[in-house]
Amino acid sequence: MHSWKAARSLIILSRPVNVIIAFLSIMLAGYLCGIGNHWTELLLACISGALATAGANAINDFFDLEIDRINKPFRPLPSGSIQPRQAAVFAGISFSGALLAAFYINLMAVVVASVSTLFLYWYSARLKRTVLWGNLTVSFITGLAFVYGGIAVGRVEYALIPAGFAFFMHFGREIVKDMEDVSGDQAHGARTLPVVHGLRPAQWLVTALFGLLIAGTLWPYYAGIYGVRYLIVVVAGVNLVLIAVIAAIWKRPTLATFRISSALLKADMPIGLLAIYLGR
């Protein structure tokens, strides 16, 4: 029973929804680019990306333990269901597995996986507590997941559009999460945008990022890249959610609003993947 509880806590630590999104993002990128006879390489890339995501989430919670005692006391580390050393070991094993899988894809995959894991560790250890640099890093790595899928099948240029969309979606959500975590971040000296410059600049940045994303999602349809099914799903399932989040953070800028908006944006990411899939 004790082993099952520990395993369950490690699964929660990995943030399985994020892991699944990373896996599907890479798989979709390979599909969009044209898999050909590269099914094995693409599957390895999906596994590699999923393991890197699990490791990144674990090491993030390791470094954020004291902050999470305030912001997210229910998480495995602050709740005491697992120990920091277990989280660090889990992260190390996950990162190693990600690099090992990349080794069996190609040299470029090894380079991308190595750079990604280094940046993910650096993000949790230092960049997350700086103004915007941490947000930019995690958003870049998220977009890189699509590039990774393109690398696996040897047609990376076809992954650039979804990579750009993922970057803007995650960048905006990262700022919303910073708005949600202001209390804990202030208490432990994390220099995020809303902590250093206040709530209003963060609201404006989220509005600008999501405004650009909404405009950008329309272009592939009018350029003839994705079909009408893409347009219907992306407008109804993604853009309306982005508009609702923008309205909510201005109308009622409270902790509850930021928390719900962050969760809603995470839940909306698979809808974006579905839109691209149907459009293809």
Asked if residue 91 lies in contact with residue 59, where contact means CB atoms within 8 angstroms, the answer is yes
Highest mean pLDDT among 3-7, 182-186, 235-239: 235-239
Whether the per-residue pLDDT at 274 is higher than 80: the answer is yes
Taking 60 as the threshold, does the pLDDT of residue 268 lie above it?
yes
- DSSP collapsed to 3 states, the chain: CHHHHHHHHHHHHCCHHHHHHHHHHHHHHHHHHCCCCCHHHHHHHHHHHHHHHHHHHHHHHHHCHHHHHHHCCCCHHHHCCCCHHHHHHHHHHHHHHHHHHHHCCCHHHHHHHHHHHHHHHHHHHCHHHCCCHHHHHHHHHHHHHHHHHHHHHCCHHHHHHHHHHHHHHHHHHHHHHHHHCHHHHHHCCCCCHHHHHCHHHHHHHHHHHHHHHHHHHHHHHHCCCCCHHHHHHHHHHHHHHHHHHHHHHHHCCCHHHHHHHHHHHHHHHHHHHHHHHHHC
Distance from C-alpha of 50 to C-alpha of 97, rounded to nearest angstrom: 10
Average pLDDT over residues 226-241: 95
Backbone φ, ψ for residue 150 (5° rounding): -65, -40
- 204 within 8 A of 246, measured Cβ to Cβ: no
Q: What mean pLDDT do residues 181-192 have? A: 79
Closest among 71, 96, 94, 69 to 80, alpha carbons compared: 69
Residue 24 has pLDDT above 60, yes or no: yes
At 95 the pLDDT is 97
Name the residue ranges covered by the structural domains of the chain: 2-279
pLDDT in tens, 133-143: 889 998 999 89
Return the structure tokens found at 62. Answer: 């390791």
Per-residue pLDDT of 77-110, as tens digits, reads 998 888 999 999 999 999 999 999 999 999 999 9
Q: What is the C-alpha to C-alpha distance for residues 179 and 190, in angstroms, rounded to an integer?
A: 12
Identify the band that residue 224 occupies on the pLDDT scale cut at 50, 70 and 90: very high
List the one residue out of 191, 121, 152 whose CA is nearest residue 29.
Answer: 152
Select from 54, 128, 152, 66 the least CA-distant residue to 98: 54
What's the CATH code, domain 2-279? Answer: 1.10.357.140
Helix orientation angle between 39-63 and 16-33, rounded to the nearest 10 degrees: 150
What's the pLDDT band for 1 if we cut at 50, 70, 90? Answer: very low
Q: What is the pLDDT of residue 2?
A: 60
d(CA 214, CA 268): 14
Question: What local confidence, expressed as pLDDT, does residue 73 receive?
Answer: 87
Sign of CA dihedral 51, 57, 60, 66: negative
Percent of the chain exceeding pLDDT 70 equals 99
